[in-house]
Amino acid sequence: MSFLGFPREDGSVGVRNHIGIISVVVCANDVTLKIAQQVEGAVAFLHDQGCTQTLVDLDQVTRTLVNLGKNPNLAGVLLVSLGCESVLIDEIREKIAVSGKPVKTLGIQKTGGMLPAIMEGSRIAQEMVIKASTIRRETFDDSYLSIGVKCGASDTTSGLISNPAAGAAFDLIYDHGGTCIFGETTEFLGAEHILMRRAATPEVKKRIEEIVTRMEKRAKMMGVDIRGGQPTTGNIKGGLTTIEEKSLGAIVKAGTRPIHDVYEYGNKITKKGLFIMDSPGREPEFLTGVAAAGVQIIIFSTGIGAPQGFPFVPVLKITGNPKTERYLSDHIDKFIKLSEEGENTIAQAGEEIYEEIKAIASGKKTKAEVLGYGQFSNIFTIGPVI
Amino acid sequence: MIKKKAIVINSKDNVATALDDLKAGEVIQEEVDSLKKNIKLNQDVPFGHKFSLKEIPSGSPVIKYGEIIGAASKLIKVGDYVHIHNVKSNRGRGDIKGGSQ
């Protein structure tokens, strides 16, 4: 049982070999995007953060950017700053460079504005792409896989079909010694008692309770019913009535194995097993969180049909909704048909998803990758913009 | 083989999920408390949405997956369409003083 991946200096294995053009602050997004558009083999990571925020958020943004840079799907990194932002680009560069991959920086103010910055950045990226193109795929056993899971634009078919199928695949990854990461803490509300029973230790059990209480408190601080925000308007249209119903259907996507630990958002996870990353349910923030954790591929279960991918992590779209499969086939990689046998369908679908993950890990492209859907990400922050 | 019109996930559930767009007046056969029962739908129930298998008094738990998914906000009769108009959430209720759990 093996796949073909790109070996990295720090011992991790990439399934893609991109050069990441990473904006460190919202003000550098435009230049970052232009460089990535100019250079074949480069991808942009854009977000809205990096300045005029509280120190708690600046730490979270810095940590996330560092760990995104370390993601094994990136062979090299060019960090782009404006020059006067609160996050410290040299600190981010030094911390990514520990992984052994090439990291360069570019400052728009220092370089003389947008046009010279695009030119200089494109030249740096061009060099990096050529160097990376000489790295060859090698055979690695399945324990090198690190996979995230997400559900989005959920309806009732998510909880019945595509989430249990994703969960069956997660169990297989776990059983082969790999790393499995899930989150979306808001979607634990009403189902946390089930997750707590699966905690590997009493400390992990306590941590699950803590992050759920914290997320619920944050939502309630706004003084309104969570419904409409969670479940979303689309979820409600899809038949989901309450956050409890959504959560009970959502947690099954993480399978059935013991939960080894709980991490704060944006941390790197190098251990093997099943882990939670505290994170919100919204796509741009969640996908960034698990990419920072170091996953190579994300399984994305959808009901109504969510098209998003991520700039440098392939996102495998699955659905159990036959209408979505028909109308949104440009975005759905795999349809899971529920037969009368129920249980067997799910176990078999889990095996098929597992095989698909290995095919993607070895180079097969997802629909979101081919269409380039998923250019606009974000980083989860807690406090206000000040 | 006749296509199943609805699914009950757990034997404790008091609601079923429609596997097709179902119409008011349609009769659905489901097992309730180990007995086969004919449930006549009081309203249309779209694909993926829920209807009641039992009478659920206002304030009583609505159960799916064998777990509580909320509470009835008014009396729900057998065969009623079950959704946001007659079920309230117990969680994330910033609109209620002291709010939920």
- Give the list of residues 6+ apart from residue A383 with CB closer than 8 angstroms, or none: A53, A54, A56, A57
Q: State how far residue A86 is from chain B, nearest Cα, in angstroms.
A: 33
Pairwise CB contact (< 8 Å): A223 & B95: yes
Average pLDDT score, chain B: 92
So what's the pLDDT on residue A331? 98
Kindly report, residue by residue over A174-192, the tens digit of the pLDDT.
Answer: 999 999 999 999 999 999 9
Kindly report, residue by residue over B45-69, the tens digit of the pLDDT.
Answer: 999 999 999 999 999 999 999 999 9
**Interface membership of B83 toward A (CB under 8 Å):** yes
**Interface membership of B87 toward A (CB under 8 Å):** yes
Average pLDDT over residues A288-292: 98
Q: Are A129 and A43 in contact (CB under 8 A)?
A: no
So what's the pLDDT on residue A227? 87
Residue A56 has pLDDT above 50, yes or no: yes
Average pLDDT over residues A142-148: 98
Give the tokens for residue A305. Answer: 């049909």
Q: How confident is the model at residue B1 (pLDDT cuts 50, 70, 90)?
A: very low
Residue A43 has pLDDT above 60, yes or no: yes
Q: Which of B47, B67, B92 sits opposite A243 (nearest CB)?
A: B92
Q: How confident is the model at residue A343 (pLDDT cuts 50, 70, 90)?
A: low
Q: How confident is the model at residue B4 (pLDDT cuts 50, 70, 90)?
A: confident
So what's the pLDDT on residue B98? 60
Which residues of chain A lie closer than 8 angstroms to B50, CB-CB?
156, 239, 241
**Interface membership of B1 toward A (CB under 8 Å):** yes
Q: How far apart are CA A159 and CA B66, in angstroms?
A: 13
Residue A299 has pLDDT above 50, yes or no: yes
Which residues of chain A lie closer than 8 angstroms to B18, CB-CB?
239
Listing from the earlier edge strand, what are the strands of the sheet with B67-72? B61-64, B67-72, B87-88
Average pLDDT score, chain A: 96
Q: Which of A220, A227, A245 sits opposite B99 (nearest CB)?
A: A220
**Interface membership of B17 toward A (CB under 8 Å):** yes
Distance of CA A310 to the CA centre of its chain: 7
Pairwise CB contact (< 8 Å): A220 & B93: yes
Q: How confident is the model at residue A342 (pLDDT cuts 50, 70, 90)?
A: low
Q: Pick the more confident residue, A228 or A279.
A: A279
So what's the pLDDT on residue B97? 72
Is the complex ipTM higher than 0.90?
yes
Which residues of chain A lie closer than 8 angstroms to B71, CB-CB?
none
Which residues of chain B lie closer than 8 angstroms to A223, CB-CB?
94-95
Pairwise CB contact (< 8 Å): A226 & B17: no
Selection from A103, B54, B73 nearest residue B64 by Cα: B54
Q: Are B95 and B86 in contact (CB under 8 A)?
A: no
Which residues of chain A lie closer than 8 angstroms to B6, CB-CB?
none
Burial zone of B21 (CB within 10 Å; 0-12 exposed, 13-18 middle, 19+ buried): exposed
Size of interface A-B (CB pairs under 8 A): 100
Selection from B87, B79, B91 nearest residue B62 by Cα: B87
Pick from A23-32, A308-317, A332-341, B72-81: least confident: A332-341
Residue B99 has pLDDT above 60, yes or no: no
Backbone angles phi, psi at A359, to 5 degrees: -65, -45
Tokens 């990194």 correspond to: A77
Average pLDDT over residues A134-139: 98
Give the tokens for residue A83. Answer: 């020059």
Q: How far apart are CA B91 and CA A86, in angstroms?
A: 37
- Please report, rounded to a whole number, the percentage of residues in chain A having pLDDT higher than 90: 93
Which residues of chain B lie closer than 8 angstroms to A216, CB-CB?
91-92, 100
Q: Which of B47, B49, B69 sits opposite A248 (nearest CB)?
A: B69
Nearest CA in chain B to A338: B19
Q: To probe the interface with B, which of A195, A227, A244, A246 has the most B CB atoms within 10 Å?
A: A244
Residue A2 has pLDDT above 90, yes or no: yes
**In chain B, positions 28-47, which contact chain A (CB-CB < 8 Å)?**
46-47
Residue A68 has pLDDT above 70, yes or no: yes
Residue A341 has pLDDT above 60, yes or no: no
Q: How far apart are CA B6 and CA B25, in angstroms?
A: 15
Selection from B3, B42, B37 nearest residue B20 by Cα: B3
Which residues of chain A lie closer than 8 angstroms to B48, CB-CB?
155-157, 238-239, 303, 321
Q: How confident is the model at residue B101 (pLDDT cuts 50, 70, 90)?
A: very low
- Please report, rounded to a whole number, the percentage of residues in chain A having pLDDT higher than 70: 98
Q: Are A301 and A165 in contact (CB under 8 A)?
A: yes
| Alpha helices by DSSP H, chain A | 29-38, 55-69, 89-97, 108-111, 114-132, 156-157, 163-175, 192-197, 202-220, 233-237, 243-250, 283-293, 322-327, 343-361, 367-371
Selection from A295, A293, A287 nearest residue A373 by Cα: A287
**In chain A, positions 154-213, which contact chain B (CB-CB < 8 Å)?**
155-157, 159-160, 189-191, 194
Q: How far apart are CA A308 and CA A328, in angstroms?
A: 12
